[in-house]
Amino acid sequence: GIQVEQSPPDLILQEGANSTLRCNFSDSVNNLQWFHQNPWGQLINLFYIPSGTKQNGRLSATTVATERYSLLYISSSQTTDSGVYFCAVEGPTGGFKTIFGAGTRLFVKA
Amino acid sequence: DTGVSQDPRHKITKRGQNVTFRCDPISEHNRLYWYRQTLGQGPEFLTYFQNEAQLEKSRLLSDRFSAERPKGSFSTLEIQRTEQGDSAMYLCASSPGSEQFFGPGTRLTVL
């Protein structure tokens, strides 16, 4: 099945700093999503982005499907950005199984 | 649109007991997924329904686990003879086609 690797595993930022989170996947994908999991465990949709670039406020994402990676950019980070960021993919050869990466744990210091 | 709901939010049970969780998807979402998440890990896929048909089931799902989605609306996940290793967050997601939307989860603790 598809392997999903996220980097870095942990990230500590000073408030106001920018960051880039990466998601590599081992095969072609039909679907790719980025989620933020808040301290209460709720997974919040950030982007549905199997290819291309999208922006939403201080967040943007780019997926280069031919090179099998996706990037999540966080600009001007805030303490409320803290949490775990997950990349999740669904591939044409994996049936309907969705595979999550292990996540990037972000802590933004005031 | 009230989002995906799950019930109960927390469940504490003794080893060997059976438990059942419920998921109510966003209305008209024909796809429904169940996941399990343990501390420090990403969610792991358990099973997938398209309408009432269970089309995919992970090998992680032992024969103690069963899921149903009668009439293609709400879904239930039952765990029989619970074990301490079943302690986890159980997440449900629904989708109209591609993008998945998650519920708040049910946290299970097996004593």
Query: How many residues belong to chain B?
Result: 111
Place of tokens 């996540």: A103
The 10s digit of each residue's pLDDT in A41-98 is: 899 999 999 999 999 999 999 999 999 999 999 999 999 999 999 999 997 766 788 9
Rounded to the nearest integer, the mean pLDDT of chain B is: 94
- Test B48 with A97 for CB contact under 8 angstroms: yes
- B101 and chain A in contact, CB less than 8 A: yes
Distance CA B97, CA B49 (A): 12
- What's the confidence (pLDDT) of residue B1? 55
The 10s digit of each residue's pLDDT in B91-110 is: 999 999 889 999 999 999 99
> CB of B91 within 8 A of CB of B35?
yes
Please tell me which of the candidates A45, A100, A101 has its beta carbon nearest to residue B99.
A45
The 10s digit of each residue's pLDDT in B53-62 is: 999 898 878 8
Place of tokens 């946290």: B107
- Test B104 with A96 for CB contact under 8 angstroms: no
The 10s digit of each residue's pLDDT in B71-86 is: 889 999 999 999 999 9
Measured distance between the N- and C-terminal CA atoms of chain A, rounded to whole angstroms? 40
